[in-house]
Amino acid sequence: MSTPFSFTLAATDGRARTGTIDTPRGQIRTPAFMPVGTAATVKAMMPESVAATGADILLGNTYHLMLRPTAERIDRLGGLHSFMNWDKPILTDSGGFQVMSLASLRKLTEEGVTFSSHVDGSKHMISPERSMEIQKLLGSDIVMCFDECPALPAEDSVVAASMRMSMRWAQRSRDAFGDRPGHALFGIQQGGVNQDLRGESAEALTRIGFDGYAVGGLAVGEGQEAMFGVLDYAPDMLPTDKPRYLMGVGKPDDIVGAVARGIDMMDCVLPSRSGRTGQVFTRHGVVNIKNARHADDPRPLDEDCTCPACRNYSRAYLHHVFRSQEMISGMLLTWHNLHYYQDLMQGMREAIAAARFDDFVTVFHALRAEGDIERL
């Protein structure tokens, strides 16, 4: 008998929570950070290396995979886990955000969205029903409702109309998802930065009933202050006995602030994308490896980090391979960034369990305020 999908809250400290999500493919420790494997790969990383950083779950992008290589092909080849050689849980997004941000000639109706592919211009349609079908073909463990996410800032009337359509789509997603033991469907709260609309959205989703709930429509240009303003109330509108997922976040200080406000799961391309552009996250803040100050520096990026980039290579070497545009640069810096993010999550899980989360946050900000080590 396989494990059903379930969430267990182990401890809370203030509004911060730690626990576990059990799935047939393994346990997800929360708060969890999910690396993004857009096109069935976390760029510059082998799946086993991603697992070695401490990741329990990956995110795959429905929009990218439906266009190339197609969900039907992945299904024929045994599903996404087998296709990309990742045996732990996978969450797939619904495709809605990428359609809004990447596709051209898109047309939005009550039925769904028609659009032209950014890859080859071919015409496609995603509806709540089609999104559920694609995600089932991919075989992901956590499926996201199909929703519409308006870019902020936007008029309240625009945000309200969009949110209400997303709630109708949430019901259609739930109906189309059906009964899939061991797989979970998450609803997505919308409503922009309007507390009343967020409340209305949360009520609609709770009435439908989901296995988890996302706070959507943030990290779309509203800024950290506005995002934290919404997170001051939005997570508490959602059921406490289900996981809460903040989509598309973020920088390390965004993550710590989100966990402090009751968020259990996050995803972001930032650690991997930054690794490829020479931006490195450490306990002391951001290090730009392309700066000339690192050219003769024999020290590691972070002497307390146990990732391969820090254990085996100097800042001078990492500077050299970045400047030379060597492939190993993106590999090592991405590994380091993902390792740092997972270390941060583990530190928060331990602090919440020990009821010393406030102390953890104080030290986190104090170390970052010190800045990088002195140059040689």
Q: Are residues 295 and 234 in the same domain?
A: no
Strands 6-13 and 16-23: antiparallel
CATH of the domain at 50: 3.20.20.105
Read off the pLDDT of residues 312-360 as tens digits, 9 standing for 90 and up. 999 999 999 999 999 999 999 999 999 999 999 999 999 999 999 999 9
At which of 213, 238, 267 does a domain end? 267
Q: Are residues 199 and 281 in the same domain?
A: no
Known binding residues for Zn(2+): 305, 307, 310, 336
- Choose the weakest-confidence range: 216-225, 263-272, 331-340, 365-374: 216-225
Q: Are residues 281 and 250 in the same domain?
A: no
Read off the pLDDT of residues 70-92 as tens digits, 9 standing for 90 and up. 999 999 999 999 999 999 999 99
| Residue with tokens 């991997």, as numbered in its chain | 272
At which of 251, 267, 283 does a domain end? 267
Distance, CA of 239 to CA of 85 (rounded, Å): 34
Q: Are residues 254 and 342 in the same domain?
A: no
Confirm if 130 and 112 have CB atoms less than 8 A apart: yes
Helix (H, G, I), strand (E, B) or coil at 92: strand
Answer whether residue 370 shows pLDDT above 80: yes
Q: Are residues 233 and 346 in the same domain?
A: no
Let me know if residue 112 belongs to a domain.
no
Known binding residues: 93-97, 147, 190, 217, 305, 307, 310, 336
Across the range 213-221, mean pLDDT stands at 92
Structural domain of 329: 275-370
Q: Residues 6 or more apart from 103 whose CB is under 8 A from it?
A: 63, 113, 115, 116, 117, 118, 124
**Catalytic residue numbers?**
93, 267
Read off the pLDDT of residues 244-264 as tens digits, 9 standing for 90 and up. 999 999 999 999 999 999 999
Q: Are residues 40 and 182 in the same domain?
A: yes
| DSSP H or E segment with residue 309 | helix 308-312
pTM of the full structure: 0.97
Q: Are residues 235 and 281 in the same domain?
A: no
Q: Are residues 168 and 315 in the same domain?
A: no
